[in-house]
């Protein structure tokens, strides 16, 4: 019996030590597993708008031309009363390479809309006229700053910028213009379209980089691209008007 008591005195402390060691190991494993299962917090993508100058607000992919005055002409809202938005690649990045410190505000504004550098936009009177009429809604037969149609708008540009007189309708303008090839287009030339089944039913003024300014039935006075899927199949030719 005395031997049994001695064995118990030896075994019980050893068993207690083993139990304590086992609990410690379990806690370490549990802590490790918990740490390895945690996920790092996700980074929040910044959606902050970047602003460069008054009247031109740039977010990735968009140029928003506000209704503020950006030159000697007054910018106008679209027919729906909202600011006009022009979609264009990484517009904010391109602005930084355009030489902002040497540029007129209108040059900056329309450099994006025409996909051109400010150095190529040297005709400030043309930009002023475009900006004055920008967003003016379309109406058939209109010729005021409340609404205007395509051929009246080309009359305004040719008269106020180039001191040239045009007949009233797009068909008449096509008839009197000297026909030129597409590759010979230059600023101030006229571009003609068939949009309604008639021979010539729409006209605009060419700018550069396949861009032309016109009074569109859908968006009022705006800038479009000759390669757009709507305009390309409807293009009927280009013409030049001289004194």
pLDDT at residue 167 greater than cutoff 90: yes
Task: Give a yes or no: residue 111 inside a domain.
Answer: yes
**Residue 208 within a domain:** yes
Residue 203 confidence (pLDDT): 98
197-240 pLDDT, tens per residue?
879 999 999 999 999 999 999 999 999 999 999 999 999 999 99
Q: What is the pLDDT of residue 121?
A: 96
Q: Catalytic residue positions?
A: 150, 202, 214
pTM (two decimals): 0.63
Residues 27 and 24: their CA atoms lie apart, in Å, by 5
Residue 224, beta-bridge partner list: 212
Q: Name the pLDDT band for 2 (thresholds 50, 70, 90).
A: low
Residue 220 domain boundaries: 136-243
Domain count, the chain: 2
Do 119 and 145 lie in one domain? The reply is no
Residue 142 sits in the same domain as residue 241: yes
Please say if the pLDDT value at position 39 is more than 80: no
Q: Which is higher by pLDDT, 134 or 243?
A: 134
Which residues sit opposite 143 in a β-bridge? 148
Give the length of the chain: 243
Report how far residue 200's alpha carbon sits from residue 234's, in angstroms, rounded to the nearest whole number.
10
Average pLDDT of the chain?
74
Q: Which of 95, 124, 153 is the last residue of a domain?
A: 124
Pick the last residue of a domain from 124, 153, 181.
Answer: 124
Q: What pLDDT score was predicted for residue 100?
A: 57
């Amino acid at each position: 019996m005395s031997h049994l008591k001695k064995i118990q005195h030896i075994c019980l402390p050893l068993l207690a030590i083993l139990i304590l060691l086992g609990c410690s190991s379990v806690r370490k494993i549990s802590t490790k597993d918990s740490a390895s299962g945690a996920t790092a917090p996700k980074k929040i993508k910044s959606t902050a708008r970047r602003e460069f100058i008054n009247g031109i607000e740039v977010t990735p992919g968009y140029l928003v031309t506000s209704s503020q005055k950006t030159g000697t002409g007054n910018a106008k809202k679209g027919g729906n009363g909202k600011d006009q938005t022009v979609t264009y690649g990484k517009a904010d990045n391109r602005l930084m390479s355009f030489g902002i410190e040497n540029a007129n505000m209108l040059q900056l504004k329309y450099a994006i809309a025409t996909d051109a550098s400010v150095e190529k936009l040297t005709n400030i009177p043309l930009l002023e006229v475009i900006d004055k009429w920008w967003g003016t809604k379309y109406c058939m037969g209109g010729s005021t700053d409340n609404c205007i149609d395509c051929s009246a708008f080309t009359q305004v540009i040719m008269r106020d910028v180039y001191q040239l007189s045009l007949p009233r309708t797009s068909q008449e303008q096509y008839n009197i213009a000297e026909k030129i090839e597409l590759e010979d287009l230059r600023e101030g030339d006229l571009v003609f379209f068939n949009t309604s089944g008639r021979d010539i039913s729409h006209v605009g003024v060419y700018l550069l980089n396949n861009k032309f300014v016109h009074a569109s039935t859908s968006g009022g006075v705006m800038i479009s691209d000759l390669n757009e899927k709507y305009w390309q199949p409807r293009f009927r030719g280009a013409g030049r008007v001289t004194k």
